[in-house]
Amino acid sequence: MSNINNNGVDMNNQTLTELSFSAVKEINDEVAATCSGGDGYINGPDPDVILFTNPGYNGGSLGVNAAGNDGVRYVGDNFNDQISSIQIVRGTWNLFRDPNYQGFLGQFGPGSYPILTGSYRDGGTNDNIASLLRVG
């Protein structure tokens, strides 16, 4: 393989930061989720939503990042039907009772929700969330 040389700068074995191209810049989490081609990701930096297993932002927590029309198809066994409080930092989110965005429970915008209301039996959101989708 030949050496790559651009304007007198040896680009072999250089990181993108070291090269400092104006066209190469750090991308934020939302753009990264979009570029990755799909679902949001769990427990990345600077989450858009933080889910908690207990009221008052206590218990186990799960951070979620996603671009519009992306989300988490299943929150995982440790959080399925266990979420009791939510902090939404960015975006508008639809919450669902079942995996794969099935069983719509409600739409929530930025804010803090220290206790989710209603139980599984009455169709509420407390201990009833399996997936979530960013819609705005």
Alpha carbon distance 85, 82 (integer Å): 10
Question: Which is nearest to 82 in space by CA: 65, 62, 111?
Answer: 62
Q: Which CATH architecture has domain 28-134?
A: Sandwich (2.60)
Per domain, the residue ranges of the chain are 28-134
pTM listed for this prediction: 0.68
Tell me the sheet residues that pair with 102: 98
More reliable by pLDDT, 52 or 68: 52
Q: What is the pLDDT of residues 2-18, one digit of tens each?
A: 445 555 555 555 554 55
Tell me the sheet residues that pair with 108: 93
Q: What is the pLDDT of residues 83-120, one digit of tens each?
A: 999 999 999 999 999 999 999 999 999 999 999 887 65
Beta-carbon contacts of 64 under 8 Å, excluding residues fewer than 6 positions away, are 40, 41, 42, 47, 48, 49, 50, 51, 71, 72, 132
